[in-house]
Amino acid sequence: MKKYAFKTSESCSARRASSLKTLAAILVLAMLLGLFGCGPSSGEGSTVVIDSGTESAVTAAPFVPTEVPTEAPTEAPTEIPTEAPTPEPTPAPTQAVNPAGTGKKVYLTFDDGPSKNTPAVLDILARYNIKATFFTIGRMIERNPKTAKRIYDEGHLLACHTQTHDLKIIYKSPEAFLNDVNQWRETVKNAVGADVGAYYYRFPGGSPSAGGKSGRGKYVEAMNKAGYLGFDWNLAFNDAWLQGNTEHLPVIDYLWASYEETYSWYKNKQPLIFIIHDTLDESVELLPRAIEDLIAKGYEFCLVSELTDDYLM
C-alpha cells in the first residue's frame, strides 16, 4: 500500500517541492489527497486506490443486505392476508369426506322430503362436502320441484320413497306398490328433467310395513325383478316416532339419546345406515352435531348406490 501510495504522492506533489521537510509534509498531505482526491484521476496510483476501494466496497457491501430486508417485509404481509381468507373455508369440509382413511362408512339418508327444511340440509352437507341419499316422496317433489332439482344437481342421490307414501294404497299388493313407484319416477322426470335414482328405494314405514317380515318378501322380490334395491336403516334419531316418547326429555335430548343408543347397538354392523326425517326442525338442528360426531369417530360418508344388496331390518 505504502509503495504505491508514494507513486501516487509523487505525481501530485512534484510541482511545489523545494525542501525535503516541505516535501515530506507535502508528501503526507499528498498521500492523503491521493487517497481521497487525486487517486481516481491519476494513472497507476488510482489503480491502487480503486483496488483497495473496491475490496473495501465488496467487504462493506452494505447496500446488498439493505435490499433484502426491504423486499422481505414488503412482500410477505401483502400476500398472506390476500390469500388466507379464500382457502380457509375449503379445508374443513375436505377433511370430512375421508377423515382418517379408517374404512368405516356411514350412509346418511333423509326421508319424506323434499320439505321446507331440505335447503338447509343441503347447505349443511355442502359445508362439510358430504353426499347423502334422499328417499323422496313424489307428492313432496310436486310441491318443491326446485329443491328436488337442487338435490340432484348437487350430486346427492335422489332415491324413491314412493309417490303417495299412503300405506293403504301402496301395500295393497306388490303390483300396487310398483305402480306407485313408477308414478314417483315420472314425477322425478318432470321436476329434474332426467330419469335418476330410481334403482334405490325405501319402504314407507320400513320393510316390515309391507306385509310384515313374513309377507314383505313378495314386495322385495317384485322390486328386485324391476331392478331396485331396498334399504331400511339402523342408526336413527327416531324422529318419526316421537309421540309419547319425549314427555321426560326435551325433543333435542330425546333425539340425541336415540342416536347414541342406536349407535351403541349397530356400530359394529355394516352397512351403518342413518335415517333422518328433515321434516322435523330439531333433526336439522342436530345434523351438524351428528356429522361432527361421526367424523370424530372416523367415518366416511357414502351413498347407498355403492351397496350391492338390499339391507332390510
Residues forming the site for Zn ion (CB under 5 A): 111-112, 204
For β-strands 133-136 and 104-111, DSSP reports them as: parallel
At 205 the three-state DSSP class reads: coil
- The C-alpha angle 276, 303, 193, rounded to 5 degrees, equals 95
Assign residue 39 a region (left: φ > 0; alpha: ψ between -120 and 50; beta: otherwise).
Answer: alpha
* Closer by beta carbon to Zn ion, 174 or else 204: 204
Distance in angstroms between the alpha carbons of the first and the last residue of the chain: 101
The three grid cell numbers given for residue 90, joined into one nine-digit string: 375449503
* Closer by beta carbon to Zn ion, 112 or else 180: 112
Separation between Cα atoms, residue 160 and residue 200, nearest integer Å: 6
Distance of CA 276 to the CA centre of its chain: 23
Q: Based on C-alpha coordinates, what's the Rg of the chain?
A: 41
CB of 288 to Zn ion, least distance (A): 23
Question: Whose CA is closest to 133, among 167, 114, 110?
Answer: 110
- The C-alpha angle 283, 289, 290, rounded to 5 degrees, equals 70
